[in-house]
Structure 1
Amino acid sequence: MRSKLFVPASRPALFAKALNGAADAVSFDLEDAVAPDAKPEARSHLRALFEGLTHATPEAARKTLIVRVNALDTPYFAADLEAVVWPGLHIVNLPMVESAASVQAAADAIEAIERERGIVGRIGILANIESARGLRLAAEIAAAHPRVMGLQIGYGDLFAPLGIASAEPSATQFVRTAVRLAAGEAGIQAYDGAYVHIDDPEGYRRDSQAARQLGFTGRSCIHPSQIGIANEVFMPSEVEVRHAVRVVEAADHHLGRGTGAFTVDGRLVDGPFIVQAERTVALAKRLGMI
C-alpha cells in the first residue's frame, strides 16, 4: 500500500469517490475524525458499505479496505468491530497500541466475530505506534500475533504530549528508524503517518522520500491531493527495477553454481541484496511495471 487515504466514516458521500480514486487503500476512520455522538451513525454507514461490496466497481474491488476503529480500552471498540468485521474488510487499524497483550485481545475479538459470521480469510491488524510506551515496545507489538501485518506511525499523538515539534526532522527520522527496525524484526511492513500541511505538496514529497529512504512501504494521505505523490514516491524507479531484475537473473546463475557473492552493475551483491531485489521485482510486477 503506497497510499492510504483517510475517509471519515461519518461522511458517506465521500465513500464512492475514495473507492474509485487512485489510492492503493482506503482507510475509513471511526476514531478521531468522528465525534462521540456521531459514532453510531458512522458505524451504520460502514456496515451498509460492506454489505453492498458485492456490487462494487472493478476499481473499488482492487482496493485494500481498512477501518481505523477506536482503541481497545474505549467504550466504542466492541461496537466498532461488530459493525465492520464483514467479508470485504481487509485490515483493522488499531490505534494507541501499547502492549502485545492489547494486540492479542483485539485479535481474539476479531476472530470471534469471523467465526460467528463464517468469514473466510483472516483480517489483518495494522498497529499504530503513537505513544512513548508504544514506541519502546514496538518490536513486541509487531510480533504479538500473526494478524499484525504492519506498524503505522501516529505522529500527532506521539509528539504533541511531549512538546516535540511535528515537523522536527531529527525526531521523525528517529521514530521512523525505530519503527522500521521493529517491523523488520517481525518480518512485516512499516507505514508512515499523516503529513498535516495539505497546502505544502513539496513538503509532503520530501517527507515521504525521507520515509522511503528508511524502508517504509507507503504512508497515509489525509487529502486526495497527496495520493499521487505517495504513489510516485513509494514506487520503485525504472532504474531500480532494471537493476533488481539483473540481480535476480544473476542470482539464478551464480547461486546455482555455488557462488554466494558476485557483482552486478559494479556493485557487490550477496544474500540481503538478493532478497531486496526479489522484493523490488515482486512489487514492480504488482504495479504493472514488468
Structure 2
Amino acid sequence: MNHAMTEPDPRPRRSVLYMPGANERALEKAKSIPADALILDLEDAVAPDAKPKARKRVAAAAALGEYGHREVTIRVNAPGTAWHEDDLRAVAEAGPDAVVVPKVESAATVHAVERALEAAGAPDRTAIWAMVETPRAMLDARAVAAASQRLTVLVMGTNDLAKELHAEHVPGRAPLLTGLSLALLAAREHGKVILDGVYNDVKDAAGFEAECVQGRQLGFDGKTLIHPAQVEPCNRLFAPSADQVDRARRIIDAFEEATRAGRGVVTVDGRMIENLHVDEARRVLALHRATGGR
C-alpha cells in the first residue's frame, strides 16, 4: 500500500530527550523536564548485566502514565541482540506511545517488530519509531518509511552513521548531509515525522544551537538530545519565530481576502502568494498552536 503524502502526526517533537533506563532518579527527573518527548533507553545507556532490571523499571515507569503531556517512548535493544525479543514483549505490555528500534535497515525489520508487538498484545496506540543509522539504512530509507502505518517517526542515528562512513564530526556536518537528505526525502514522501541526531558536546551551547538551526532549515521536525540543558534552546529554535508566525497570519489573511474578492493574484510584502505558501503558513500556525502559542 502506498501511504505517500499522508499528513504527519501534528504533535510537536521539537525536543526528544534520551533518559538512561537503569537510572531511577533520571526517570523521576524526566517528569519535570519540558521536553516534547522522552526516550527511556534500554540500549546504549544500560550495561549488559543491568538490562533485565532496567527493562522492568522502564516498563513500569511508562505504564504508570505520570509524564504529563510528554510523549513517552522506550528504546529497545537492536534486532539480533539477546535482549531484543524480551524488550519488545515488555513494551507491548507497558503500552507506551512508541517503541524506538535501533539499527533498522530494511522494511523486513519493521515488519518483524510489528508482528512481535501484535503477537504480544501491544495496543494500537504504540507506534514504531525506526532509527536509521547506517549507509544501508540511508539507501533503503524509502522502503523503511513505507513499510508500515504503525511506523510514524524516523530517528537519525548520526553518531553511528559517522562511524560507518569513517567521517569526522565537523561543524556543518558536510560528511552526513547526503544521508540526512535521503532520510528526509523518504520521511516526507510517506508522511512521517523525522528527528535529527544528537549533538555530543553538551558544553558547546553555540555549536548545539547552530546545529538545531541547521536541522530546522533542512526540514527536520525536531532533534534528539542527550542532556536536559539542551531542551530549552531546542524547543525555542524548532518552534516558529514571532516573525514567521506574523508572516503566516498575513499570508492566510491576504489569501482569504483575495478569494472572497475573486482576485486571482495575491501578494504579501511584494511577493506573489500561491497555494503552496498558504499550506506552509497553515503548517507554521498549527505548530505554533501545538507548542503553546496563541
Give the match for residue 120 of structure 2. Answer: 113
Gaps of 5+ in 1: none
Question: Which string of whole-angstrom CA distances, capped at 9 and with x for unpartnered residues, describes residues 65-90 of structure 1?
Answer: 01111122222111112222346511
Q: Which of 15, 28, 52 is the equivalent residue of 1:3?
A: 15
TM-score, normalising length: structure 1: 0.91
Tell me the residue number matched to 1:165. 168
2:80 matches 1:76: no
Q: 2:39 aligns with which of 21, 27, 40?
A: 27
Q: Which residue of structure 1 aligns with residue 8 of structure 2? A: none
Give 1:30 shift.
Answer: 0.7
Matches within 5 A, 1:242-261: 242-255=246-259
Report Cα offsets for 1:179-200 as digits up to 9, x if no partner.
Answer: 2111111111211011111110
The alpha carbon displacement at 1:146 in A equals: 0.6
Cα deviations by residue, 1:114-142 (Å, 9 ceiling, x for unpaired): 36xxx3x4211111110000000111111
- CA shift at 1:240, angstroms? 0.3
* 1:239 has 2:243 as partner: yes
CA contact (8 A) 1:142 1:188 kept: yes
Seen in structure 2, the aligned counterparts of structure 1 residues 244 and 82 have a Cα distance that, compared at 3 Å, is same
| Aligned residue in 2 for 1:93 | 100
Per the alignment, do residues 257 and 202 of structure 1 end up closer, same or farther by CA in structure 2, a change over 3 Å counting?
Answer: same
Match of 2:135 in 1: 132
Kept in 2: contact 1:9–1:45 (CA 8 A): yes
- CA apart distance, 1:272: 2.1
Q: Determine whether 1:153 maps to 2:153.
A: no
Query: 1:98, 1:134 within 8 Å by CA — same for their partners in 2?
Result: yes
**Do residues 287 (structure 1) and 294 (structure 2) align?**
no
Greater RCO, CA 8 A, separation 6+: 2
1:228 correspondence with 2:214: no
Shift of the 51–183 alpha-carbon distance from structure 1 to 2, 3 Å rule, reads closer
Alpha carbon RMSD of aligned pairs, Å?
1.8
2:267 maps to amino acid: T
Of 180-189 and 160-169, more deviation after overlay is shown by: 160-169
Shift of 1:254: 3.8
**Structure-1 residue corresponding to 2:266:** 262
Please tell me the residue identity of whatever aligns with 1:127: A
- 1:43 is aligned to 55
Alignment partner of 1:214 is 2:218: yes
Structure 1 vs Structure 2: percent identity of aligned residues? 36
Provide the rounded CA distance (Å) in 2 between the counterparts of 1:185 and 1:271: 19
TM-score (norm 2): 0.89
Query: Following TM superposition, by how much is the alpha carbon of 1:257 offset from its aligned partner in structure 2, in angstroms?
Result: 6.4
Rounded Cα–Cα distance in structure 1 between residues aligned with 2:46 and 2:278: 45
Aligned match of 2:146 in 138, 143, 146? 143
Aligned residues: 281
Q: Name the CA distance, whole Å, in 2 between partners of 1:109 and 1:254.
A: 53
Superposition deviation, residue 42 in structure 1: 0.4
Q: Is the 8 A contact 2:59 2:94 kept in 1?
A: no
What stretches of structure 2 of length at least 5 have no aligned partner? 1-12
